[in-house]
Amino acid sequence: MALIEVSHLEKTYNDDGVSTPAVRDISFNVQKGEFVAIMGPSGSGKSTLLHILGFLDRQSGGTYRFDGKTMDDYSPVELARVRNAKMGFVFQTFNLLSRTSVLNNVKLPLLYSGIKESYWDEMAKKAIEDVGLSHRLDHESAKLSGGEKQRVAMARALVLDPQIIFADEPTGNLDSKSGQMVMETIQRLNEEHGHTVILITHETYTAEHAQRVIHILDGRIDKDEKVISRRQSEEFIK
């Protein structure tokens, strides 16, 4: 069974009697361990699609199943637990507490997890190590570079070992060098740790890190193709 199953998905926004379709008849599956980039220009519907996949919004039509279940299979409390424990979110804006240490920022999802507090430091330090920031453990997030802030956000998304990481334009606020480091970290988390990744981007160099690219245009799938990731290409050249 696929981790994500999307069938004839539709999303239409209604404002003062005006209907605006954002997602139109989209169907695809994502297997566990895949790294999929959803690529398209601004306004193509890709972020709307991610919000539906992350149970942050509800579709207007069609079906969406995550790990075999739809949004309607959960109570509001259960839905919040699924988003917290099974899904990790990384957004363009880092959403960190600026005067709080890296360690305490990463521990935030654990507050709502039901896990004993005695385990929190160990779990957070492991996630921080996975993104290569152990040397910044006690630094306030306000004093970090943009790339480091995004990696803290990634560690926070990883701390509960989710089944999937949703990354929405994670390099959008970064310079090219920092963006490259963030994408290499995401790729390593997929290849070495087995995390399923869905990346939303409009940048070709960012999408090159994925194993599969779904191109969205005007709310529809324009093309769905398997690709050779940048790391695979570099290894082939060697």
Domains of the chain and CATH, by start: 4-236 (3.40.50.300)
- pLDDT at residue 233 in the model: 61
What is the structure's pLDDT at 75?
94
Predicted local confidence at residue 232, as pLDDT: 65
Q: Residue 166: is it exposed, middle or buried by C-beta count within 10 angstroms (0-12/13-18/19+)?
A: buried
C-alpha 75/C-alpha 82 separation (Å) is 10
Model pLDDT, residue 15: 86
Would you state the pLDDT for residue 237? 56
pLDDT at 193: 87
- Other Cβ atoms within 10 Å of 92 Cβ, number: 17
Per-residue pLDDT tens digits for 144-181: 999 999 999 999 999 999 999 999 999 988 998 999 99
All residue ranges of the chain with pLDDT < 50 are: none
pTM of the predicted model over 0.85: yes
